[in-house]
Amino acid sequence: METEAAADRLGRSLRAGDLLLLVGPLGAGKTTFARGLARGTGSEAHVSSPTFQLVRLYPGRVQLAHVDLYRLERSAEIEGLGLDELLDQGAVAVEWGDRLGLVSARTGRCGSVLIDVLGPAKRRLRLEGEPAWSL
């Protein structure tokens, strides 16, 4: 699937401190994109929706932290994520990343992947915010 292939290419360029916000409606392909990112970082981890876990870690050439804010109930939980520590350790991809708000005063690379659903198997992917990255 092209979504996963595009994410894989981007994943190869990820490094510690990189933050990617994955934004799109239910079933858009955010987890699919995170799976491609993990492949691109060299991880062989099984990537699925972290339903009951806010964060999953995939070791690879660079660690990828996979965060899903779908079930986030209080903004205090975002602070409890330890986002700065995760960014020190590796790259971070956040499903429902638009719920993150202002994260911190960090200065690493940060971009948003916007996924539009155009049809049952058709998606439009756009990348905003980080000029060094493309899809």
Q: Which residues bind ligand ATP (CB under 6 A)?
A: 1-3, 24, 26-32, 49, 70, 95, 121, 123
Nearest approach in angstroms of CB 89 to ligand ATP is 23
Q: How far is the CB of 47 from ligand ATP (least distance, A)?
A: 9
Any contact of residue 41 with Mg ion (CB under 5 A)? Answer: no
A 10 A CB-CB count for 118 gives 9
Place of tokens 């948003």: 112
Residue nearest to Mg ion (CB): 31
Smallest gap, in angstroms, from Cβ of residue 49 to Mg ion?
4
What type of residue is 93? Answer: A
**What CA–CA distances, in Å, run from 27 to 30, 32, 111, 118?**
7, 9, 20, 12
Round to whole Å and give the CA distance between 33 and 28: 9
Return the one option of Mg ion, ligand ATP, none that residue 27 interacts with (CB less than 5 to 8 A, by type): ligand ATP
d(C-alpha 29, C-alpha 125), whole Å: 10
Residues near Mg ion (CB under 5 A) are 30-31, 49, 95
